[in-house]
Structures are given as C-alpha cells and as structure tokens.
Amino acid sequence: MKAVLFCVIGVVALTGCQSFTREAGVESAPVVSNGGATMISELIDLSDRLHFPEVEEASGILLSETGYIQTMSDEVDNYYLFNDEKNERYLKSEMVQEWSVKERDKLIKLTMEFENQFETYQIKFDDSIEMIKIASGSRLPSVFISENAIVLTQDAVDMHKDNLKDELVQTYFKLYLSKHPQMLDDMSVMLGFSELKSLSLKDYLIDDIVIRPDIIKPYIYEARRGDIETSPPYNWVPVTFINPETNRLEDHMLAVTVTTNGEAIASTLTTQNMYLTEINDLSSHMAVPLSKLEDAYKIFGEIPEFYTHPEDILALNFMYLVLDRPVTGTGTIDKLKAKLES
C-alpha cells in the first residue's frame, strides 16, 4: 500500500488537507463553501487516513482469518460475545454497525488534535487505518485492535470526547506496536519484561483464562511477592482471568515454571476462599494482583494495577506523555520518552 503519514493537521487549516493523501503531489478535495455547517469528514478523502468501511466491508475485515473476533477460541468466544442484558450471545455477523457522518467527524477531529504529538516521536502508519463500529452490550472491550482495524463499541463512540481521546491515543499506539514487534520487545525489556516463547496451560485452566484483544504475545516478569518472603524471585506472566464469582475479567500475574527452551508452564492453580488467592506451599503456582508483586509495583506504581500486560503499560504511559495528563509518578513515562527519542 502507498505510504500514509500520521501527521499533524490543524482544525484551523482544513484547506490544506494534502497530508491526508497517500502520495505527495496528490491534492485533496477542495473545501467548498456552501453557506452552511459542513462536516470535516465531508471535506477529505477518508480512505487516505482513517477509513470507515461500509457494514458489509467492515464485517469482512472483522471476520477475516486474521481478525481477532474470527480467531477467538470457543472459550473466549462464548465469554466475549455474550450479552448479559439479553442473556444471549451475539452473532458475529450482526455485530457491525453503520457509521454516521457525525460519528466519523468526531473521530477525525479527535485524531487531528493529537497527530502532531505522534509525529514528534516519528510514529507513522504505512496503511490507512480501518475504523469499525460494533454494537454495545457484549463483553468485548470498548476499544481494541484487530489486525489493521480499530474496533469501537457504540458506547465508546458516544463517550465524552476527552475520554474517547484517551482511548484513541492508547489504541493507535498499540496498533503501531503490533506492526513494530522489535520496538515492543525493546520497550517491554525496558519495563522489566522479557519475551516468552510460549505459554502452556493445562486444559482445566483454559476455562478461566483468556487472552484479551490488544495482547500481541506473552511476556514474563521476574519479581517477588510483596506479602511473602521469597528467594529467588518467581517468574510471572500477565494473564486475564474470568472470575467465576463475578463473571468479569480480572488481570493478574500468574506464577509459572520456565523450561530451558523458554516455554512457561502453569500446572496448578488453587482457588480457596477468595478467588485466585493462594495460601498453599510456595512451590505451587498462583495468580496474584500486580500490586502484590514487590519489584513490579515499584516500577509500575503510577499505573492502575489492572494494567499488567506490557502493551497496556506502554500505551497508558504514552497517553500520559502525549496528552500531558496528571500522574502520580513519571518514572515509566520518562523511560518511554527517552526510548522514543533515541
């Protein structure tokens, strides 16, 4: 595909939309004054920057062999596509919704507001980004990536613009990381994670463990439990559980044994009294909240504890950096900034 720069376009410079085109020298559609209010999305060629496909095309993208929703396992499928309110599962083919001009305009405006910050850190996309809207009500995240698409629920699209901007910045960055695996590896190492070749789980664990959208590949972290003296540290893998008591997703760190070829094996998981608590011998495997990992919490202290996956941590801190949001600590943000500027 022809290259598309992820570049700054000011709202006040709508007559100069050439940066939305795929090729230098190709002029964008001129701004025509009609004496009335005009949507930004009517003034530019959307396929050059953000592409809002029609329902049929969007369904094809979402249900492609590489799309997240199409490739979900049966366990993940049964969980994510369930509508609690209607007590029934969504049909994958019926999830995609049509974009309104006003909704497209909202997303374009928000993207234009932070594109210059992306360009500052040389973050550019080679292809136009597919923007897909799906119905709300399922247990899918409000915004996630699926191959080259960014998928938003109707509830996400209807968010207050500041909240939606936060989500978009994080998701664009996750999409960029998915296309630059070496950068993801380097930044994950910067956080203290290392790449994991594979994660092996017993069948009875699969029922409660799922991999969320946006999670590109497994990583491992070495740390001590904050509430128990351990030596040497355990190996921990960020995982997302379905809590059978609340039927909600919870991010935890799962203690694993790592083989010589780099494969992590989780053989046991004990749930006693409270879900995912472990009070047996320390040689058995356990899952704990990130906040209970002593070494990790020192590094990720400014991040909500449910952000355990490297992609989440990096995207959230990138959002703090780009949008200059207030945080309790800047250690990770400073590291990320230095890495991006190097």
| CA distances in angstroms from 14 to 105, 246, 310, 311, listed in the order given | 13, 48, 37, 34
89-113 mean pLDDT: 92
> What's phi and psi for 51, nearest 5 deg?
-105, 125
- Per-chain mean pLDDT for the chain: 77
**What per-residue confidence (pLDDT) applies to 227?**
72
More confident residue, 339 or 15: 339
Q: Examine the pLDDT at 136 and tell me if it is beyond 90.
A: yes
**pLDDT grade, residue 6 (50/70/90)?**
very low
**What per-residue confidence (pLDDT) applies to 274?**
43
In single-letter form, the type of residue at position 185 comes to: D
**What per-residue confidence (pLDDT) applies to 178?**
92
More confident residue, 183 or 259: 183
Q: Examine the pLDDT at 166 and tell me if it is beyond 80.
A: yes
Nearest Cα to Cα of residue 307 among 211, 220, 228, 240: 240
**pLDDT grade, residue 43 (50/70/90)?**
very low
**pLDDT grade, residue 262 (50/70/90)?**
confident
* Top mean-pLDDT range of 117-121, 257-261, 297-301: 117-121
237-256 mean pLDDT: 79
**pLDDT grade, residue 275 (50/70/90)?**
very low
